[in-house]
Amino acid sequence: MSRTWRLVGAAAATALSLGMLSACAPASGESGPTADGDAGTLALYSFIEPSSWDPASFGESPYLPYALAVYDSLFVLDENGEVAPKLATGYEYSDDKTQLTLTLQEGVTFDDGTPFDAAAVKANVEHFQGYATPAGPLLQNVAEVEIVDDATVVLHLSQPDPGLLFSLTQAAGLMGNPNTLGTDEIAKEPDGTGPYELDTERTVVGSQYTFQRNDDYWDQEYPYSTVTYTLFPDEVARLNAFKAGQIDYAHTTTASAAIDTTRAVAGSEMQETSVTWEGLFFFDRDGVLQPELADPRVREALAIAIDADAMIEAIRGGYGEATNQIFSPTMDAYVEAYDHAYEYDPERAKQLLAEAGYPDGFTIPWPRTGSILPEIYTAISQYWSEIGVTTQDVQWAPGEASQSIMAGDYGLVYFSNLELLDTWSVIQLSVAPNSQYNPFHSQTPELDELIAALQTASDEESAEAAQAVNEYLVENFWYAPLYRPALFYLTVSDVDLTVLPGYIQPPIWAFQPAK
């Protein structure tokens, strides 16, 4: 659920009214945002730029808004975070859940006349599987793609994949022209069936990307004839751009900055939600680079030496929810008690370090990224110094953090992770041995057994099996989440935004002219 305020001038800043924004998301055959005539230009921003327009390259969530402007996906997420049809109009699983049959939208073509059909789905799935992307595990269980007829395709799985439908709402479900997949042509210019087309003449690479509406789009109408994405990786710069009227939307994780910015822009709207968790990522659980981390007592000590509640108050202005689990309340793995599985206890932390053989502490590299508030790194370093642990600061360059994490450069980082809407996808991207956030390929027989039990669990058994995985991760300090920070979405007075679960950056269809 999101919280919504509208402030009209500075005088209204102290009178925040609580409400909910009604939501809509496009699904095949249903009406999305519509308007009579042309609503003009929608000026958005992104904090990251695409390195390629190949649909398989959009493997991380911040890239998806670009992709969903020019590519359609097999499925999308609706206002409740549920899978909804798009290019795939329906699906059916076999009894043993090793075959997923998709029925497809008919009559859709790419610009060169190539039809979107079962052959196009097969080409895209196989292309995605062979493309070097951190999202590669999303389709790792698809063993074969069978074409039944033009409008029907069957995905044969090597083993059940409880998160496959969700994966097909993400980069794995984007459909590009099979004639250009994997070529330099599609890497430089998108080739999809989406509602907008990249305007290469009005695009300045590395600065601003301009899209023109496809008025022959096969599905619902879009009100804005032009959409721009201006690159603002720096939070201060993007908020200043919002204040100056350069962009119609911005977001921040800093409550004071959100409120100050909303006060400065008359009629602007601020919505609060939560889409990520932040905390400690204990990658080196076998002690390859950092031997101390192989002992769960050390990981526990580092976690309980931090006062997350105090950080929420002092750094986040009281906006945020403490948690010690990587699963969100929308997932069947979620256990409410695990939001407070352990408490701040520096004396016990010292005791644990002593028991593990480190009574005088140790030194650990402490990489920082500009996407995380610097006060957080400083606060944690201070907490750890009180138990004898010294941090050596390392500054990641812009855009370097994800690549460095996947390369296994550090045994421990503080980072944020998107709260996905489905338990299995979290496991496949953050827990499984070959997942994006398991660069050292950590695994144990106990955890493997729990994951296998979840994978084959019946619908009735699924929640219990998922919570057993959660219990193992919490008790063994696989991660040490601290809190779910509040995320503030800001929009100007003439733009309405529907906050959609599952999309950290709202897709184009989430915006429409204010009523």
Mean pLDDT, range 440-451, rounded to an integer: 96
Residues facing residue 204 across a β-bridge: 208
Percent of the chain with pLDDT over 90: 73
Rg (CA), the chain: 23
Give the pLDDT band (50/70/90) at residue 37.
low
Euclidean distance between CA atoms 455 and 468, whole angstroms: 12
Evaluate if residue 141 carries a pLDDT over 50. yes
Evaluate if residue 1 carries a pLDDT over 80. no
Instruction: Write the DSSP symbol of residue 192.
Output: S
Model confidence pLDDT, tens digit, residues 208-246: 999 999 999 999 899 999 999 999 988 899 999 999 999
Euclidean distance between CA atoms 435 and 478, whole angstroms: 14
Comparing 20-34, 44-58, 82-96, 171-185, the range with the smallest average pLDDT is 20-34
Model confidence pLDDT, tens digit, residues 391-433: 999 999 987 888 899 899 999 999 998 776 689 888 988 999 9
Whether the CB-CB separation of 35 and 512 falls below 8 Å is answered with yes
Task: Kindly give, in sequence order, each residue whose CB lies less than 8 Å from that of residue 155, ignoring residues fewer than 6 positions away.
Answer: 99, 100, 101, 102, 125, 142, 144, 145, 146, 164
Euclidean distance between CA atoms 77 and 509, whole angstroms: 11
Evaluate if residue 445 carries a pLDDT over 90. yes
Rounded to the nearest integer, the mean pLDDT of the chain is 89
Give the pLDDT band (50/70/90) at residue 35.
very low
Structure tokens at 68: 């969903």
Whether the CA torsion 463, 424, 400, 61 is positive or negative: it is negative
Mean pLDDT, range 259-279, rounded to an integer: 93
Structure tokens at 5: 């305020």
Evaluate if residue 374 carries a pLDDT over 80. yes
Whether the CB-CB separation of 469 and 424 falls below 8 Å is answered with no
Euclidean distance between CA atoms 233 and 400, whole angstroms: 13
Query: Which of 152 and 275 is assigned the larger pLDDT?
Result: 152
Evaluate if residue 29 carries a pLDDT over 60. no
Evaluate if residue 18 carries a pLDDT over 70. no
Helix orientation angle between 374-385 and 308-316, rounded to the nearest 10 degrees: 150
Euclidean distance between CA atoms 451 and 449, whole angstroms: 5
